[in-house]
């Protein structure tokens, strides 16, 4: 009588071999998983990591061509690329992203490619207020001050420092296409009260116009039909019944008014509060220069 060898041991042996192979594979798979996790912990640096921006732009990696476009814009308007400025920061971040292999060589963000970058200046007696935008959002605003020579300290400060009215005009140019909202109207009211020393809404004044514009915009559906900030703040210095030099304290009060009347509790980059803040920094600079 013939006897067949039991098959179970062969299956078990095959299973044991499979387990051995599985155990040999696990370290490699574990390394790959760890590599994937490590890569996830070290993503590309995005605009939202570096600048105060929102929406789709905040999730886009900073790319080399974006930085090159900003460098070109700064050179055109400012005559140079400031050390430590917006273009310099973008270039440094883009270089890191590229070296890490997270962004392709010479790549550009789609939003920046579509909407571009801009550098604008608003001339003021002390120099200019510079505003830099990426993809339609403000990433930097500052004053390049040019103090006047000669004269006593007090007189030069008053002649060179930026007034609240001039700061409002700068805001009109920077955020000009933005429809007026209640937060903008509140900031303009605070600015008008600080400039004139009055604590009420002046009939026919800037704040009254801004409040009317905000109310009109709330009932208007199409954006192109809404009243823009540039329309309200055009010639702001001349429309104010009084004006004075903007200080950092003014900027803080205007920012609070803008935040408290915004559902998101935030101030608009490049808006009214930001422009007055830049003007306030110029005043601090003037005081330091003439000490």
**Contact (CB, 8 A) for 178 and 229:** yes
Both structure tokens of 235 = 């010639």
Q: What is the pLDDT of residue 126?
A: 67
- 272, 195, 198: which is closest to 233 by C-alpha? 272
The tokens 């900030």 sit on which residue? 229
Cα 3 from Cα 79, distance rounded (Å)? 97
Q: What is the pLDDT of residue 43?
A: 85
- 200, 62, 210: which is closest to 139 by C-alpha? 62
Q: What is the pLDDT of residue 17?
A: 52
**Contact (CB, 8 A) for 86 and 137:** no
Both structure tokens of 263 = 């559902």
The tokens 């702001």 sit on which residue? 236
Q: What is the pLDDT of residue 192?
A: 95
- Alpha helix positions (H), the chain: 8-41, 47-50, 55-58, 64-78, 86-99, 110-115, 153-160, 164-174, 182-196, 206-218, 229-233, 236-239, 248-260, 272-289
**How do the pLDDT tens digits run along the chain, 291 residues long?**
545 545 544 445 545 554 554 544 454 444 444 444 444 444 899 999 999 888 999 999 999 999 999 999 999 998 998 888 899 999 999 999 998 888 888 788 899 989 999 998 888 766 788 889 999 888 988 877 665 554 444 443 344 578 899 889 888 887 768 899 999 999 999 999 999 999 999 999 999 999 999 999 999 999 999 999 999 998 898 999 999 988 888 989 999 999 999 998 988 887 888 888 887 776 555 554 443
Helix (H, G, I), strand (E, B) or coil at 152: coil
Cα 23 from Cα 212, distance rounded (Å)? 74
Domain extent listing, the chain: 31-116, 147-289
Cα 163 from Cα 62, distance rounded (Å)? 35
Edge-to-edge strands, sheet with 137-145: 117-124, 127-134, 137-145
Neighbours of 31 (CB within 10 A): 10
Q: What is the pLDDT of residue 241?
A: 92
Helix (H, G, I), strand (E, B) or coil at 249: helix
Q: How far apart are the first and last CA of the chain?
A: 116
Cα 86 from Cα 94, distance rounded (Å)? 12
State pTM to two decimals. Answer: 0.60
């Amino acid at each position: 009588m013939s006897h067949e060898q039991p098959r179970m041991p062969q299956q078990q042996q095959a299973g044991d071999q499979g387990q051995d192979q599985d155990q040999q594979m696990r370290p490699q798979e574990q390394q790959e998983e760890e590599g994937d996790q490590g890569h996830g912990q070290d993503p590309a640096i995005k605009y939202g990591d570096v600048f105060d921006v929102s929406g789709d732009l905040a999730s886009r990696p900073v790319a080399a061509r974006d930085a090159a476009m900003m460098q070109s814009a700064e050179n055109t308007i400012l005559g140079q690329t400031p050390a430590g400025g917006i273009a310099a920061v973008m270039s440094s971040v883009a270089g890191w992203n590229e070296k890490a292999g997270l962004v392709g060589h010479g790549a550009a963000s789609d939003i920046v490619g579509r909407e571009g970058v801009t550098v604008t200046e608003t001339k003021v007696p002390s120099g200019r207020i510079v505003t830099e935008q990426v993809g339609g959002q403000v990433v930097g605003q500052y004053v390049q001050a040019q103090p006047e020579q000669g004269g006593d300290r007090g007189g030069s400060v008053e002649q060179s420092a930026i007034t609240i009215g001039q700061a409002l005009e700068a805001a009109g140019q920077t955020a000009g296409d933005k429809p007026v909202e209640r937060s903008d109207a509140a900031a303009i009211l605070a600015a008008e009260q600080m400039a004139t020393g009055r604590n009420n809404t002046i009939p026919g004044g800037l704040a009254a116009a801004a409040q009317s514009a905000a109310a009109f915009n709330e009932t208007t559906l199409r954006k192109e039909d809404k009243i823009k900030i540039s329309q309200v703040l055009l010639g702001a210095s001349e429309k104010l019944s009084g004006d004075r030099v903007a200080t950092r304290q003014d900027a803080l009060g205007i920012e609070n008014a803008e935040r408290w009347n915004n559902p998101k509790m935030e101030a608009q980059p490049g808006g009214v509060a930001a422009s007055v803040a830049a003007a306030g920094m110029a005043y601090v600079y003037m005081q330091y220069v003439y000490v």
